[in-house]
Amino acid sequence: MSARRLLISLFGLIMGVVSLNAFAHKESDAYLTLQIDPRNDHIMHAQWDIALRDLDFAIGIDTNHDGAITWGEVQSHRAAIESYALSRLTIKGDGLTCALQPTGQMIDDHTDGTYGVILFDAVCDKNIPSTLTVVYQLMYDLDPYHRGIVTIHAGEKIAGAVLGPSNPSASLNLRVPDRWGEFKSFVTDGIWHIWTGVDHILFLLSLLLPAVLVRRRAFSDHSPWRKGALLTETTGALMAAMTPRPRYRWEAATRFWPPCLDVIKVVSAFSLSHSVTLSLAVLGIVHVPSRLVESGIALSVMVAALNNLYPLVNKRVWLIAFAFGFIHGLGFASALSGLQLPAGAMAASLGGFSVGVEVGQEAIVLAFLPLAYLLRTTWLYQRLMFRCGSLLIVALAIGWFVQRAFDVLIPGFSAIVPS
């Protein structure tokens, strides 16, 4: 196999992985909070918030299949919900498993939808030790990207972790919280959040696709049109009437470092702006309705891809990344919206998540840019990936925008894009 064919295969594989993400079930979150009873150190009171869409996906609680899950349907499936969830959670202290006893049921609204709330007690035979082991297996066989944010309160001490199918268990020290461990767990969470966020990935790719191309005029001074036009230079009015608007075309860049510098500007601008709004939103300083945020993200994807087909911003693409990075930061913040932590734990969680998002997007850039540069002169890149790819992204973004802004369900569309 030639080097070029190998590169083409690798490039197709990368884009195929991105495409497959779009067909997956929407990334799901759950929030598990446990608090030791100050009057009985054998008992922890717990609240587990699980998205109703995930419960319906797992056990089917939308009885009449109308797409709207009511409180009555949640109540009628209480036993099934408790059985499904609690059978996938284990809490151990000193090697002994604590019994999980359901005590109530509620629903609650989060920024990304309505959640079912399971209230239960974890009853241990002995006094709850300083170190607890939590084994978390919710959605492990249905969604490989599911994550559960687990927080344990022991008086003034708080310990936490992000668990999921790839990292199902953690030992949490209630006396001396492991901030470094929390930081690392949120780094992993941030990486997976960017890798499973199809809209964020497509926005980034829309900005990267033209990086290895240069936009130039489609005619030269020696073209047949130009020679004919020179004959009319003595008649200014006729020349003005006959002169068409300049036409442009995309050509392969001749050097690697100028595109590399442009990509650094784009990624840096995007990182700076989304970091600002991510921090402000998680700290509760800024609050924007989820519907507006998600619609804005869809609009940003559409504008970035359209700019490849009908360029309005050519030399300063980083401005697009900077402007829309603010709205993407609010989207990232939804992943941490359920956290209620003291300053130290919040700093570790927010810092780790931000680092993870950066690592995730840098990995995409490092995989994409060298291959794109090597393939920039090929039909595969210039026609299929750049033009057809941008057009496909525009179509997907329009569908996202319609669904998110107007709360309209497009038949069959939700199967290939996140809601």
- d(CA 68, CA 115) in angstroms, rounded, equals 13
Q: Which residues contact 22 (CB under 8 A, 6 or more apart)?
A: 198, 396, 416, 417, 418
* 226 occurs within a structural domain: no
pLDDT tens for each residue of 321-347: 999 999 999 988 877 766 666 667 778
Q: What is the pTM of this model?
A: 0.71
Is position 229 within any domain? no
Q: For residue 237, is pLDDT > 80?
A: no
What mean pLDDT value characterizes the chain?
A: 82
The answer to whether residue 359 scores a pLDDT higher than 50 is yes
Quote the tokens at residue 97.
């498993």
Element housing 363 (H / E): helix 343-374
Q: Which residue has the higher pLDDT, 180 or 63?
A: 63
Same domain, 211 and 173: no
* Tokens matching residue 361: 């997007």
Q: Which residues contact 110 (CB under 8 A, 6 or more apart)?
A: 49, 51, 337, 338
Please check whether residues 10 and 45 belong to one and the same domain: no
Number of domains comprising the chain:
2
Lowest-confidence region among 42-51, 165-174, 266-275 = 165-174
Q: Is residue 240 part of a domain?
A: no
Q: Which residue range(s) make up the domain with 368?
A: 3-22+197-218+246-415
Residue 385 pLDDT exceeds 60: yes
Pair (65, 129) in one structural domain: yes
Residues 51 and 155 both lie in one domain: yes
pLDDT digits (tens, 9 = 90+) for 81-94: 999 999 999 999 87
CA-nearest of 375, 373, 32 to 172 is 32
The pLDDT of residue 83 is 96
Lowest-confidence range among 25-34, 189-198, 222-231?
222-231
Domain co-membership, 317 together with 256: yes
Q: Which of 108-117, 214-223, 345-354, 392-401 has the lowest mean pLDDT?
A: 214-223
Tell how far CA 22 is from the center of its chain.
11
The pLDDT value recorded for residue 417 is: 52
Q: What is the mean pLDDT of residues 237-257?
A: 67
Measured at the alpha carbon of residue 282, what is the angle toward residues 276 and 288, in degrees to the nearest 5?
80
